[in-house]
Amino acid sequence: MEKAQQAIASMQLENSHIAFYFACFWYQEDIEQLTESILTNLSKIQVLETIQGADRENVRFHWHEKFYFVLNFDCYSQSCWLEGEDEKSIEQLKHLMTECKTLKKS
């Protein structure tokens, strides 16, 4: 997948997660690049683990060493969303999305 194709077309903040929409259709083998396109926009993150399934992948990470999130990909539905693992992290979704948008523009 080319870089222009892996671009984030839009993001939407929901009650308990951030939904990501990409410019083009993607496949499971593209998930590593898609993950990078999202996480490189964030500061102070550390990937804790990647869990691969038959049609779904999850990337657990922490942000600013105290908030825990999971970036989820579902291949069949072409869905990508980021959710907090606890209430404290869920409360930070708005700040996380703001940082992602700010760093994306720079």
For 35-50, how does the pLDDT look when each residue is reduced to its tens digit (9 = 90+)?
Answer: 998 998 898 999 999 9
State the average pLDDT over residues 81-101: 93
Which DSSP letter does residue 53 get? -
Structural domains in the chain, sorted by start = 8-100 (3.30.160)
The percentage of the chain sitting over the pLDDT mark of 70, rounded to a whole number, equals 90
Among residues 18, 36, 4, 16, which one has the least CA distance to residue 86? 16
Q: Is the pLDDT of residue 72 over 90?
A: yes
pLDDT-based confidence at 17, cuts 50/70/90?
Answer: very high
Per-residue model confidence as pLDDT tens digits over 78-90: 999 999 999 999 9
Are 75 and 36 in contact, with CB atoms under 8 Å apart? Answer: no
Q: State the pLDDT at residue 62.
A: 95
Q: State the pLDDT at residue 106.
A: 43
- More confident position, 17 or 104: 17
Which DSSP letter does residue 28 get? G
